[in-house]
Structure 1
């Protein structure tokens, strides 16, 4: 069996770690002969660190499928963006102080320093009216090992850099929708989301679904023998190709509607629940879990 697990909101507890039960369930699944892969919007380093802390070794589908890294650390596949085509839209983003932008490249994740400072100041300004915003903003910063630059435009004008993914985060949902529309107008683009306050832009062929096909084929697995577990809209492409789809209890409603079963939440070890059932029965459970 080939099993692909999303990270944030799925494998990871809300505090950002892999619980002991989830860790043990993955190891038991691997010992039983199953391939367990990670499928995440995170860059390789950000995905690797929580696995390393838990003592786990898995192939990683990173950046929503823009990069596939084998368990050995070798890169199996890369699907970058056509950077030049994005520059006019990125220049528009740069003029919108309420749009926080991360560029995921071959060397680092880049963020404009002024961009972060503006977002932090905005969250602080409305802290009494919206006390949860500071928590949301800080969580966003914690999800990327970033390199700060004075002017983010220097990154997209650097011909030596390869851009795999663009993430736009905002507390202004109207402006975020406009940004989504601007990027969606470009050719060969996939626009998705891993959180209500962000959009993620990849090449059209850089989706979790396309990456699942490639990695399952690499291991000699049929798509009918794949199990995927996720919670967000960027997981829907892998739900579209997998043999069995499991939504987290905390998943977006659109994800639950496309699932074959629903497990517990990420803070209730929902991943462990599905993996334990799979290992015990030797095949995918065919019922709703909670």
Structure 2
């Protein structure tokens, strides 16, 4: 079987770590002959670092499906964005004081210094009255290793940089919706989300679902023999193609409605519970 695991809110706990139990369950599933892959909005290097720290080696579907990297580092799928088409929208985003933007490229994740300063100020502003929002802001800094630049226009004017994903974060739902509408106006783009306070923009062919299909084909695994586990909107494309869909206990209601089974939360090692049952019983029961 091919088992595709989301990272944030799924394999990772609230501290952004892979628990020992989850690690052991992945290794056990691999030893039983299953292919365990990561399917994340993170860039490959960020995902790889977390896996290596936990002592795990897996294929990685990165950047919401824009890139598929095998265990040995071989890239078998690469779907960049049309940078020139994005520039007018990115210019608009940069002018909005309450929008934070990350640009995922072939070299690094770039963020304007003004964005960093704004988000830090935001974290301080909400810390006393809205502690949950402070945690959301702090999580943005943990999502990716970034390179800060004085002016984001230097990034999109650099011809050597290839764009794969744009992430926009805001605590202003109305402004975030405005940004989503602008990106959605381009038919070649797909807009998803890994959290209520962000949107993630990729090429329309770069989805987790399409990447799971490619990876299953690469390993000669029928889609009926695929299991996917996730918690957020950007996991729904995987749910649409997989043979068996599992939602985390902390997943959004939309994801839970599409699931065949709901496991416990990411802080309760929900991934391990699923993999342990699969290895023990050879299959998973449906709800």
Coarse TM-score class (shorter-chain normalised): over 0.9
1:193-212 mapped onto 2 (5 Å cutoff): 193-212=193-212
Please name the residue that 2:17 is paired with.
17
Helix, strand or coil at the partner of 2:241: coil
Determine the structure 1 residue equivalent to 2:155. 155
- Partner Cα distance (1:242, 1:133) in 2: 33
Distance 2:266 2:128 in 1: 29
What is the match of residue 101 of structure 1? 101
Preserved CA contact (<8 Å) 1:120 1:134 = no
1:75-224 to 2 correspondences below 5 Å? 75-224=75-224
**Cα shift at 1:119:** 1.8
Q: What is the CA deviation profile of residues 187-209 of structure 1, one whole-angstrom value per residue up to 9, with x for unaligned ones?
A: 21100000111000000000000
- Give the conservation status (yes or no) of the 8 Å contact 2:101–2:166: yes
Shift of 1:258: 0.5
Contact 1:42 1:63 in 2 (8 A): yes
Equivalent-residue separation in structure 2 for 1:131 and 1:236 (angstroms): 29
- Contact 2:190 2:201 (8 Å CA) reproduced: yes
TM-score, normalised with respect to structure 2? 0.98
CA–CA distance in 1 between the matches of 2:253 and 2:16? 23
The answer (yes or no) to whether the contact 2:123–2:138 under 8 Å persists in 1 is no
Question: Where does structure 1 lack aligned partners over 5 or more consecutive residues?
Answer: none
Q: Secondary structure at the match of 1:256?
A: helix
Residue 94 of structure 1, CA deviation: 0.8
1:8 lines up with 2:8 in the alignment = yes
Task: List per-residue Cα deviations over 1:12-34 (Å, max 9, x = no partner).
Answer: 11101111110110001000000
4+ residue runs over 6 A deviation: none
Q: CA deviation at 1:132?
A: 2.5
Q: Give the drift of 1:158.
A: 1.3
- Matches of 2:277 and 2:65, distance apart in 1: 27
How many residues align structurally?
Answer: 287
The alignment's C-alpha RMSD in Å is: 0.9
- Pairing 1:58–2:58 present: yes
Judge conservation of contact 1:227–1:243 (CA < 8 Å) in 2: yes
Q: Could you say what secondary structure the match of 1:240 adopts?
A: helix
Quote the residue 2:72 is aligned against.
72
Mapped partners of 1:36, 1:239: distance in 2? 16
Mapped pair 1:228 → 2:228: yes
Q: What displacement does 1:90 show?
A: 0.6
Q: TM-score, normalised by structure 1?
A: 0.97
Secondary structure, counterpart of 1:199 in structure 2: strand
Instruction: Give the match for residue 287 of structure 1.
Output: 286
Structure 1 Cα separation of the partners of residues 24 and 178 of structure 2: 43
- Partner Cα separation in structure 2 for residue 118 and residue 28 of structure 1: 44
Displacement, 1:133? 2.3
What corresponds to 2:32 in structure 1? Answer: 32
